[in-house]
Structure 1
Amino acid sequence: MKTNGNTILITGGGSGIGFEIAKEFSENNHVILTGRTDKKLLEAASQLQNVTTVTMDVTDEKDIEQLAEYLASTFPKLNVLINNAGMAYAYDMTVPGIDAHQKAFEEINTNYLAVIRLTEKLLPLLGNQQEAAIVNVSSVGAFVPGKILSTYSASKAALHSYTQTLRLSLANSGISVFELMPPLVNTEFSKEIGGEHGIHPQVVAQDLMNAFIDDNFEIHVGQTADLYKLHLSSPSDALAVMNNFLGS
């Protein structure tokens, strides 16, 4: 996949991993950042070049419709979709009144269903390009779940499964499908689960850039690679390592 001259849409691009991906790519590509907060998007854009911002909510069907129409008319050469927007809750499912169902609903809606809706809407536009890519940002939790991140991990496992079958379905279409699978990353998003001990989000962005260059479609960033290998040899050991690390 080429790394310059692209028109790239990044959902949840105002901070964290999304912002670092934008920073990595924006010098030689045009980047469109989406997010729910004007202020955060404008702050991000002020630090970058070749950036357009769109305030919207990926879980809102009307917002998705409007975004798809806007992109088709304003950015008809859009050729990269990076589904990065995410939602996570860290909690103990056994605590009375924790409302795990509602938390799981929000996570599944944001991390999985919204990805399917946006991807489906943009497939015709991506398919018009000579070279195109879809990047789904999942997690090491797709392989090895954390007890305090049980429903989040489940949503990422669903995204992993969907991404694999999407890749098969688009094999002869000219659209490459990448899956970016970070471990714990030091962002505001992960602060509640000890994110300060995680890797810098710039490492994730650089690994995506390298994956584009090498056509490496399943990207195991940092500790994800180690846990994946352990998971293949001993799922129970991998589960123990993950949950000891999270203190759960």
Structure 2
Amino acid sequence: MDITGNTVFIPGATSGIGLALALALRERGNTVVIGGRRTDLLEKIAAEHPGVGTVRIDTADAGSIQAAAADVLARFPELNVLITMAGIMRTEDWHSPAFLESAEDTITTNVLGPIRLIAAFVEHLRTRPDATIMTVSSGLAFAPLKVTPSYNASKAAIHMLSETLRLQLADTSVRVVELEPPSVQTDLLPGQADNEHAMPLDEYVAEVMGIIEARPDVAEIQVERVKFLRYAEARGDYEKVVAVLNASDPH
């Protein structure tokens, strides 16, 4: 993915990593469209950042995705980058069936959401001479945080989906890039924005932008902090990493 000159749609960009990445891409000369469920937030962002496009979308709703895709493509026919940012993270206790609703919501948003988004845009992206689908997994796709089982599973699914789509779409103009965040200071979980174990948001996005600029053909965007989790099994210290992760509870 080139660092500039793109038209980018980021559903799930009204806060956190999504919004910070959207603004960083905008500063680098990209046309950026953000999506979210809350129209008041979208209006506020549009007012504060003139030129940023907005569209209402609920990625847990298949109909909303189809409507938003039609809107985005009608207004921004040069679209060549889709970043499937939208996601949720919840703690769950599987000692009783009370976890089920949360688990189903997580899988719907974090797995079905990106699948439906890709389905809505892939045909168009294949018509562009240089296109990118950026998925968003997590360091927790590679080492589990005990309190977020469905989130861990959803991000592991996104990792393998990304690996497979990269193979399938190799004969097209569409690149598949996987963004693999560590714990970042956002509101993804209560208290995470102030968690000293999490990476400051501005530092994270700055490092991501540096990676994209230095390595436009990168398949997995990994800041240094996430490699502790990402390569635990390859290093042979997986059990130690899992123990450290769950002792410090960085989320």
TM bucket, shorter chain: over 0.9
Counterpart of 2:88?
A: 87
CA RMSD of superposed structures (Å): 1.8
Whether 1:47 aligns to 2:48 is yes
Amino acid at match of 2:220: E
**Contact residue 195 and residue 250 of structure 2 kept, 8 A:** no
2-structure distance, mates of 1:140, 1:42: 32
2-structure distance, mates of 1:92, 1:133: 37
**Contact residue 184 and residue 192 of structure 2 kept, 8 A:** no
Amino acid at match of 1:77: E
Percent identity between matched residues is 33
- Unaligned ranges ≥5, structure 2: none
- CA deviations on 1:94-128 (whole Å, 9 max, x unpaired) are 2x46x212111111111111100110110011111
**Contact residue 142 and residue 230 of structure 2 kept, 8 A:** yes
Q: Give the TM-score taking structure 1 as reference length.
A: 0.92
Counterpart of 2:177?
A: 178
Distance 1:195 1:229, change over 3 A: farther
**TM superposition outliers: structure 1 runs of 4+ over 4 Å:** 192-195
Distance 1:170 1:247, change over 3 A: closer
**Contact residue 7 and residue 77 of structure 1 kept, 8 A:** yes
Deviation of the 1:59 alpha carbon: 1.3
Distance 1:33 1:74, change over 3 A: same
Whether 1:24 aligns to 2:27 is no
1-structure distance, mates of 2:128, 2:231: 36
Whether 1:128 aligns to 2:131 is no
**Contact residue 19 and residue 44 of structure 1 kept, 8 A:** no
Amino acid at match of 1:226: F
Counterpart of 1:202?
A: 202
- CA deviations on 1:208-237 (whole Å, 9 max, x unpaired) are 323333022112224211222333212211
Whether 1:216 aligns to 2:233 is no
**Contact residue 17 and residue 201 of structure 1 kept, 8 A:** yes
Whether 1:100 aligns to 2:86 is no
When the two structures are aligned, how many residues end up with a matched partner?
246
Counterpart of 2:67?
A: 66
2-structure distance, mates of 1:171, 1:201: 32
2-structure distance, mates of 1:184, 1:106: 21
- Unaligned ranges ≥5, structure 1: none
Deviation of the 1:67 alpha carbon: 1.5
Give 1:157-172 correspondences, 5 Å limit: 157-172=156-171
Deviation of the 1:145 alpha carbon: 0.9
2-structure distance, mates of 1:89, 1:142: 15
